Amino acid sequence: MTNNVADHHPGNSFTEGNHEGDFGCSVGELRNLMELRSAEAVARLNDSYGGVHNVCKRLKTSPVEGLSGNPTDLEKRRQVFGQNFIPPKKAKTFLQLVWEALQDVTLIILEIAAIISLGLSFYHPPGGDNELCGQSSGGVEDEGESQAGWIEGAAILFSVIIVVLVTAFNDWSKEKQFRGLQSRIEQEQKFTVIRKGQVIQIPVAEIVVGDIAQIKYGDLLPSDGILIQGNDLKIDESSLTGESDQVKKSLDKDPMLLSGTHVMEGSGRMVVTAVGINSQTGIIFTLLGAGEGDEEKKVKKGKKTGAPENRNKAKTQDGVALEIQPLKSQEGVENEEKEKKKVKVPKKEKSVLQGKLTRLAVQIGKAGLIMSAITVIILVLYFVIDTFGVQGRPWLAECTPIYIQYFVKFFIIGVTVLVVAVPEGLPLAVTISLAYSVKKMMKDNNLVRHLDACETMGNATAICSDKTGTLTMNRMTVVQAYVGDTHYRQIPDPEAILPKILDLIVNGVAINSAYTSKILPPEKEGGLPRQVGNKTECALLGFVLDLKQDYQAVRNEVPEEKLYKVYTFNSVRKSMSTVLKNGNGGFRMYSKGASEIILRKCTRILDKNGDPRVFKSKDRDEMVKKVIEPMACHGLRTICLAFRDFPADAEPDWDSENEILSELTCIAVVGIEDPVRPEVPDAILKCQRAGITVRMVTGDNINTARAIATKCGILLPGEDFLCLEGKEFNRLIRNEKGEVEQEQLDKIWPKLRVLARSSPTDKHTLVKGIIDSTVGDQRQVVAVTGDGTNDGPALKKADVGFAMGIAGTDVAKEASDIILTDDNFTSIVKAVMWGRNVYDSISKFLQFQLTVNVVAVIVAFTGACITQDSPLKAVQMLWVNLIMDTFASLALATEPPSESLLLRKPYGRNKPLISRTMMKNILGHAVYQLTIIFTLLFVGEKLFDIDSGRNAPLHSPPTEHYTIVFNTFVMMQLFNEINARKIHGERNVFEAIYRNPIFCTVVLGTFAAQIIIVEFGGKPFSCSGLTLSQWFWCIFIGVGELLWGQLICTVPTSHLKFLKEAGHGITKEEIPEEELPEDVDEIDHAEMELRRGQILWFRGLNRIQTQMDVVYTFQTGASSLQGALRRQPSIVSQHHDVKNVSSPTHVALSSVNSTPTTSAVAAAAASPPAGNQSGECVP
C-alpha cells in the first residue's frame, strides 16, 4: 500500500535517517500505522511503539500540555510531516474555457459560414465580370468596393471571437468566485487544540503532527490521529468505508481516528499523526488526482478507495465535486453501485429555475431552427427561379463562384436568423444574477454553498426552523430554580442553600459537563461574559458562578483523565451522566438532562435539610404541575440535576444503561431562559405576509415551545393551529407496522406549527412528508434550519438547508446549502428576498430578450423573402444579439431587491417563467417595433427622401435607408430595456433606477457605442452616417416605446384569454417512466444525467415523442392522445387530472367524474401549445 508514499511528493521524501534524528518516527511509519484498524492497530501500537503515550514522546509532544507553539518547532513539523492542506484540483485555464465556449453549435455554424464567405471574397474568377452572370456586378460599385467583400466574413469572425471571450471570461470569474467562496469556508473552519496547556481554536490548515486535538460531538475530524483519552466516543466512518454503522472508539479496542469522519457522540483528545496529503482522506484525494494510467491498480486497493465520492461531496462543493468523480473503470463503477445502495443519502432535484429555463431554451431553439431553415430555402428558391427561370439565363462555368457567393450570403442570413432566435444571454443572465446575488448575500450574512439554493429560496413555501439560537439568542441563563422543596423565582442567595446541597450542585455541574464548555470574562468592559461550548452547560456553569462558587477549582481537582465513565449527551438519551470512582472503591454518578426524562428515573429527592426522601410517581406528577409546567409556560427550559451512589462491593455493568440510569436522587430543577431575538417576530410576520409558513421544530418540552412560538408570532391567538409532541406526532402518522403513512401526514402538516420534544428522525419525517405531499395546488418547497449533527438528514432532504455558522457543527454545515454566519432568522428572510429577486431578474431579462428575438427573426425572415436580403445584416444582428444579450443580462440581472418582493406569494414549482402579463408585453412591444420597421423598410425612402436600399446588388455600399432601419431598431431596444425593468405590469418603469448604477452605465454605454457604429462603422457594419435630424427621428421613435409601454399597461391582462404562458416547471407526470424507480425521492435527476449519458437519450427521445403526440393531437383532435398518456407515468388518476384542469379561465369540465382519459383530452385541447407538454391546463 505504501509503494506510493514518496513518489507523489518530493517535499516529503527526506532520507529516513534524517527523520529519526528529529522525531522518533517518519511520515511513512505513521502512515502505515494509520492504515491499520481495531485490534491490529492496538497490537502494532503496543508492540512497535509501546502505546500511544510513547508515540507522543517520539513526536515530542505532551498528552496534557500539547505542543509549545514555538514557531520554529511548528515550521519544522510542517517541513517533515507536511501541512494540513489538500491542494485543490487545478482550476481550468482561461484558454481551456475559451475552447469550451467555442464548442457552441451556433458559433461553429457561424465560423464555417464566415470562413466560406472570406474564401469566396478573395476568389476572383476569370471573366467574372461577364454580363451573363446576372445582376451580381451591378453598375454602382467601383474597384475599391468589390475588394471589400471580405469585410463581412471578417466582421462575423470578429464578433464570434468577442462572444467567446465574453463567455470564457464569465466562466472564469465564476470559477474564481467559487474558489474564493471555497477558501473562505475553509478558513472559517476552526478546530480546538491544546498548546502550552491552553485550549485554543486554530484554523484547520494550521494543525501539525504532534498537536493534541480536543474532539467532541459534531466535529468533522481535520486530520488522522490516535485517541489519548475518550468518553463514549462514536464515529461515523461512512465517508471512508461506506459502512453506515457508527464505530465505537476506545483506547483498548480501536483508537484510530481518521480525517473526514464525523464524531456522532462523545468527546475525547487525540494526538495528530498525519495531516494533509498523508492523511487517509488526503491519500484518496491524491489517488483521484493522480494520472488516469494506474486506474486498475488503484481500484484493487479496495479498502482505500472506499466511497470516495461521498467524501468529495463533503469536502468540496458542486463545482469541484462533480469533477472528481471516483475512478471510472469497470470495477470502480460496480463498487460505486454497491456504495450507493449502502449509503442512501437523499439527493436534491434539479433546481426549479434550471428546469424551466432548459425547457424554454429548447423550445426557442427549435422555433429558430425552423425559421432559419425556411428563410434559406425561400431565398435559394427565389434566386434560382428568378435567375434561371424568369430571366432564363444558362448556368455558366465561369459564373459558378458568383452564384456560390450568393448561396453563401443566403446561408449566412439563415444562420443569423438562428443566432438571433437563440437567446445565448440566458445562461449568462442566470450566472450573472446568481453570482451577483451570492456576493451580495455575503453582506447579509448568508454564505451560499450551492448556487441554485439562492434561487430555490425564492420559491420557498415553508420554513422549518430550530428554536435555540435561530429564533432565540442562544444566550442561556438560569432564571428560576427548585432546590430543597423551595421554588425560587429568581436566583437564590447562596446562604439560603445548605452547603451539602450546594456542594452537590457545584460538583454535578462542573464535573458532569464537557470540559470544553466554560465561561470566559467579557471581551469588552461592561459586556456580558462570553459563553464557550455548549450553551445549556454554560447556563448551568453561570448558575454556579451566580451562587458565588468556582467550578474551575473542582475541574482542576478532577481532571478529565480521572473520569471513570462518561455517558455523553445525544438525541436519544437527552441526558448526560459522568461516573467517578470514590476513594473507598464505590462509584458516584452525576446526571443532568431534560426534567421529565430524569425525574422519571428518580426514586428519591433531597428535602430542605438536604436528606433524600422517597419520591413516588404521584409526587412527580405534582412536581410537574406545580414547578415544571409554570416554568415551561414562561418559555423556560427545565433541566434536572441528579446523582446516584453505587456501593463498593460489586462493580455494576456499565453497558446496561437502563439499569445504571435508574434509582437516581434529584438534587434540583432549574429553569433556563433563552430570550427570543428582538428582530424575530417582525421577520416571521414578513414571512407570513410573503406566503411562507414558519414551523418550529424543537427538542424542548411542549409548554416551553408553545410559549416561545407565541412570543415569536408563529402561533397567533384565536387560530386553530396544532402543537404536537414528537410521540403524539408519530402516533398520528404511523400505521400499526410503524411505517409513515403519507395520507395521515397530509391531514396534519398543513395545520402543524410547533413540533416539540422531537427527535431528528421526526424532523426528517416532517420535512420529507411536506415535500412529498400532493395536497394543495403545488408541491411545497421547504427550507430547514439546523445546527446539530443530528439535523444532517433533514438539512439534506430539504430543498434548501440552512446551517448555523456559529453554533452549527461541521456535520450540519456539510449537509447544508447556505450557512447563516450570524445564526439569525432575519438572514433567512433576506435569503428569500434575494431568491425572489433572482427569479424576477431572469424574467425581466427574458421579457426583454424575447422581444428582441421575435422582432429580429420576423424582420430578417420577411425582409429576406420579400427583398432577397435581410434588412438587418449578419454583423448588425450579431451586434444587437451581443450587446442586447450580454449587457442587458448584466443590467437587468443586477437589480437590487426591494422589500416589495416580500408582499407577494411564492411562485411555486409549476408557475411558468413567462407569465401572461409578460407575454402581453413581449407581443405588444413586438407589434409596435414591427410596424415601425416595416413602415421604414417599405416607405422609409419616401418619408426621409433618400435612395431606397432595397434590391441592392451584392457588395454594394451601405445605404442610409437600411442604416436608419438598423438604428431605429437599436433605439427601440434601448428604451424597451427600461420597460423591461418591470414585469408585473407596474407603470413607473423608472422607479429606483438610480439605485442600479450598472443599469444606467449599460444603457448609456450602449447608446454611445451605437453612435460610433453608425457614424464610423462603415462597411463592416453596413452603416452610412446619418444627419442630425435623422438621428432625432430614430431616438424619437425609440422614446415612443416608453409611451407605448404605458398603453400596453392599460390593457387588462384578464381580457387577453388567447395569450399562453411558456417555460413551465416539470410536473411529476412528466418524468419518463424509466426514471421513476420505486424510491422516487432518492433520485437526483441532475446527478443521474451526469452519471449515465444514456438516460439523457431516453429522456430526449421520450420528450420528442410526447411533443409529437401532443402536436399531433392538436391537429387531429383527441385520437392519438392515448399514446401520449400511455407514455406518461401511470399516475393519470382522475384526482390528478381533474385537479390539473381546475382553472375556470380555460375550460370547464362538464362532469368531474369523467374518466381520466377524457379529462386529460379536454386539458390537452385547452392547453397551450407553447411547451406545456404535460397536457395540463395552467391558469
Residues taking part in catalysis: 466
Backbone angles phi, psi at 429, to 5 degrees: -60, -45
Q: How many CB atoms lie within 10 A of CB 735?
A: 9
> All 3 cell numbers of residue 962?
437600411
Distance (Å, whole) CA 593 – CA 471: 22
H/E stretch holding 507 reads helix 499-511
Residues 6+ apart with CB under 8 A from 607: 484, 485, 613
Distance (Å, whole) CA 457 – CA 553: 49
Distance (Å, whole) CA 82 – CA 286: 14
Q: Distances from the Cα of 1108 to the Cαs of 281, 516, 571, 1048, in angstroms? A: 50, 66, 54, 35
The answer to whether 1027 and 1135 have CB atoms below 8 angstroms apart is no
228-254 burial: b if 16+ Cβ within 10 Å, else e? bbbbbbbbbbbbbbbeeebbebebeeb
Indicate the residue type of 1147.
V
Half-sphere exposure of 623 (CA within 13 A, CB side): 27
Q: Distances from the Cα of 858 to the Cαs of 140, 368, 754, 870, in angstroms? A: 30, 10, 57, 10
3-state helix, strand, coil in the chain (%, to 5): 55, 15, 30
Half-sphere exposure of 1173 (CA within 13 A, CB side): 25
Backbone angles phi, psi at 64, to 5 degrees: -100, -45
Distance (Å, whole) CA 272 – CA 221: 10
Place of cell 429560496: 457
Backbone angle region of 394, left / alpha / beta, with phi > 0 → left and psi within -120 to 50 → alpha: beta
Distance (Å, whole) CA 823 – CA 677: 11
Length of the chain: 1179
Q: Distances from the Cα of 492 to the Cαs of 475, 502, 608, 632, in angstroms? A: 20, 11, 14, 19
Q: How many CB atoms lie within 10 A of CB 556?
A: 10
645-666 burial: b if 16+ Cβ within 10 Å, else e? ebeeeeeeeeeeeeebbeebbb
Residues 6+ apart with CB under 8 A from 577: 512, 566, 567, 589, 590, 591, 592, 660, 661
Place of cell 435539610: 609
Helices 105-122, 400-421: axis angle to 10 degrees equals 160
Place of cell 428519591: 604
The answer to whether 977 and 848 have CB atoms below 8 angstroms apart is yes
Indicate the residue type of 297.
K
Place of cell 500511544: 52
Distance (Å, whole) CA 345 – CA 1083: 9
> All 3 cell numbers of residue 403?
452564384
H/E stretch holding 784 reads strand 782-786
Distance (Å, whole) CA 1030 – CA 967: 10
